[in-house]
Structure 1
């Protein structure tokens, strides 16, 4: 039944897109995030559904959709430049076969991020895309949240829809993304127009946020705990009663600590004492190796260049017995360890030019969302618009918070080209382009194109 339901849902979206081409874009968002072909065991698994929805989204937009207000932005240009540069480094990669495997999905993620803003020409479309993204990622979070509440989860032990450790089904990645979408959940609950707002929407949004907060507990990903901390700080800027918010957050943390699994608190302790944790020590060793690598390869080594590393890691752990403390030192050798950081991933694979393009893309997004937040916030205050009417600044704020949470998580997880995050960038580009178009004054006609005013006969006499 699950297999049939997934198949019928995707086919229904594609069928409806023949009349409403934009629905094919939503179908691709769902397929790329949830990957129902992995959940299915026959119907969707037997056809290239991701490729089909990808081609349908592009093809129907090109043939049947209105493109009157579609325009390219600077950040889409940066994405295009990054796409071209990554293609060039793939041709000269240190490991051509492995690089080609990664390029096979990276180019599609980058191209769709460039394409997505061209289809989001109205508020309704922007909101629909945000809703599909949140609900698609939220479906994974709900599954993980329920399992965490029932079993407590565990490091590399929490499974979602499928036994998979790639994409959003990887523990650290879904922990980062689950926390990043919380600002968007709040925005949709407060300003969504696709569904009637009410008590049921608020209950569902609250439950979904709770499930998202449980994901770092269930996966025991330290990245997720750091993202929760950053989210708590970022929320201070948008809440009305900050003292009440701080008091409630502190009380909630104190109440939640006794219910946390012992394995979770033990793993979180390694954040402070990283020298005793081999995983953390390995990351530091890989980052140091990457800095040495780009001295000889300033243009990068292409995708999966980390496979050439050889590491010697020294871990130290202190054990106290009475008044004496014994320090145990252990040396471990390792090789072909991944970067575990998007910043070093970009540096090692794409060199300094690629890292500069990627950072430019991220920083410009933060700057654009801040400009929108301030401009539309001041405009709403001047016009006396209520919080339900004024949706532009809150959405810019939510997208900015989501990006900041991603950038923190990206420091410890190699998700520089994560498709979901590139979709968020596409949403930012669409919002920037749409609101800029609303701000543009009507263009005056050129003097040579002004129609002559007819002169009445009696006036001529």
Structure 2
């Protein structure tokens, strides 16, 4: 029954997508982040729903009047440059071409659909629709996991959607940390009391879900994000106090097994998982020093790479030629795409942060934008801070969620630019003499 219902919904949306590619942008975000077909148990589980939606969206996009020019600013220039550089380094990859090409194609699909989204959505209504879709697509697992954590007393781990980048408990924990600021944003801009109360429940449940993931990296990211969220909110003192009380209460609720696992952060040298990360980071660093420009290309977690670049002092602990993923967005980009790739990746985050700060400053006194744009831009900064902290321990440099968050800034910036251009074109100084002289 679940397979039939899901198939009917997605296939039924295709005609609407062909009429309006904007609907396709929303549906693609939903499917790529939530991966709803993985919750089915029959034929729908392996159906290529994402490819179907992407194809319908691209066909509609090519013939639609909804298409806007690609927004050009410091963020998008860096963004496109990063994708081009990752494509360039693929020609010098260490791994076999078929493996590298599959990974490159996977990453390309994410960014191409993101570029399409940037050319379709404008205005507060459309941007907030995208925010709702993004937050609820992964937030669904956080809400469900938070309830499960409370009901089970925190005795198990919370997992994400099967087959997605947020499936692992650590990845889901970080994804929920990154999304919490946008639940707060939606709570602040919502008018209906029932909706605001529902969002408060979501925030509390997701906090329990983050702790229930038993991810030490997510815990650190949650702490860093909470501090930034307190300072960036409309009421810093009140919000910081409420957040501290909420997190403290959730931590006290967790069992001793959870507390013991979190305490291993202090004694990382006695934890096998933590030491494997350090062992891998040293390997990625040695790889980058040997190939500083192009790195090792996509998929460097192979025995060949570790046999060449792994440190000798750690070889005894990892017998059998073991290899590990980078376990860090920074070492992942460094090992795969060299110092230029890491530089572009960091520059993308920096330019997004700066652009968000500038937009917030420019619109805070404007009647049309002051009620939502500054708050949204501050929440983007809070989310980026959480990702920067938690991402230091996870290989999520190609996670499409963070690029959606970057797109919020680009879409707001494009909206402001286009509306300012339209206002300048219709101002009295630009009007014809007959119109300008009319009383």
Normalization by structure 1: what TM-score?
0.84
Cross-structure match for 2:437:
none
Structure 1 counterpart SS, 2:117: helix
Deviations 1:310-339 (A, max 9, x none): 456989xxxxxxxxxxxxxx9454631111
Deviations 1:241-299 (A, max 9, x none): 54444444444444333320222111111111111111111211221222222111112
Residue 387 of structure 2: which of 384, 403, 406 is its match? 406
Cross-structure match for 1:459:
none
Counterpart-to-counterpart distance in 1, 2:329 and 2:204? 27
Cross-structure match for 2:407:
426
Residue 200 of structure 2: which of 178, 203, 206 is its match? 206
Could you say if the C-alpha distance between residues 174 and 233 of structure 1 is closer, same or farther in structure 2, counting changes exceeding 3 Å?
Answer: same
Tell me if structure 2 keeps the 8 A contact 1:79–1:110: no
Q: Does 1:348 find its partner at 2:335?
A: yes
Residue 442 of structure 1: which of 420, 424, 434 is its match? 424
Counterpart-to-counterpart distance in 2, 1:168 and 1:437? 35
Q: Does 1:309 find its partner at 2:306?
A: yes
Counterpart-to-counterpart distance in 2, 1:6 and 1:211? 26
Counterpart-to-counterpart distance in 2, 1:120 and 1:189? 22
Could you say if the C-alpha distance between residues 76 and 154 of structure 1 is closer, same or farther in structure 2, counting changes exceeding 3 Å?
Answer: farther
Tell me if structure 2 keeps the 8 A contact 1:140–1:161: yes
Could you say if the C-alpha distance between residues 132 and 265 of structure 1 is closer, same or farther in structure 2, counting changes exceeding 3 Å?
Answer: same
Deviations 1:218-245 (A, max 9, x none): 2200111112111221122234554444
**What is the root-mean-square deviation in Å for CA atoms of aligned residues?**
2.8
Counterpart-to-counterpart distance in 2, 1:424 and 1:303? 24
Deviates more, 1:20-29 or 1:95-104: 95-104
Cross-structure match for 2:66:
66
Q: Does 1:276 find its partner at 2:270?
A: yes
Cross-structure match for 1:127:
128
Could you say if the C-alpha distance between residues 84 and 146 of structure 1 is closer, same or farther in structure 2, counting changes exceeding 3 Å?
Answer: same
C-alpha deviation, 1:78, in angstroms: 2.2
Cross-structure match for 1:319:
none
Counterpart-to-counterpart distance in 2, 1:102 and 1:110? 13
Cross-structure match for 2:363:
376
Cross-structure match for 1:102:
103
Could you say if the C-alpha distance between residues 256 and 158 of structure 1 is closer, same or farther in structure 2, counting changes exceeding 3 Å?
Answer: closer
Counterpart-to-counterpart distance in 2, 1:80 and 1:73? 11
C-alpha deviation, 1:36, in angstroms: 2.1
Structure 2 counterpart SS, 1:281: helix
Specify the structure having the higher radius of gyration (Cα): 1
Tell me if structure 2 keeps the 8 A contact 1:7–1:43: no
Name structure 1 gaps, 5 residues minimum. 316-329, 454-461
Name structure 2 gaps, 5 residues minimum. 435-439
Cross-structure match for 1:183:
181
Residue 297 of structure 1: which of 284, 291, 308 is its match? 291
C-alpha deviation, 1:6, in angstroms: 2.0
Cross-structure match for 1:339:
326
Tell me if structure 1 keeps the 8 A contact 2:356–2:380: yes
C-alpha deviation, 1:144, in angstroms: 1.8
Counterpart-to-counterpart distance in 1, 2:152 and 2:5? 27
Counterpart-to-counterpart distance in 2, 1:450 and 1:148? 63
Q: How do 1:149-168 residues align onto structure 2 when only pairs under 5 Å count?
A: 149-152=150-153, 157-160=157-160, 162=162, 164=163, 166-168=164-166
C-alpha deviation, 1:153, in angstroms: 5.2
Cross-structure match for 1:169:
167
Counterpart-to-counterpart distance in 1, 2:433 and 2:417? 32
Q: Structure 1 or 2: larger helix share?
A: 2
Counterpart-to-counterpart distance in 1, 2:246 and 2:68? 50
C-alpha deviation, 1:13, in angstroms: 2.8
Q: Structure 1 or 2: larger strand share?
A: 1
Q: Size of the alignment, in residue pairs?
A: 425
Structure 1 counterpart SS, 2:424: coil
Normalization by structure 2: what TM-score?
0.88
C-alpha deviation, 1:138, in angstroms: 1.3
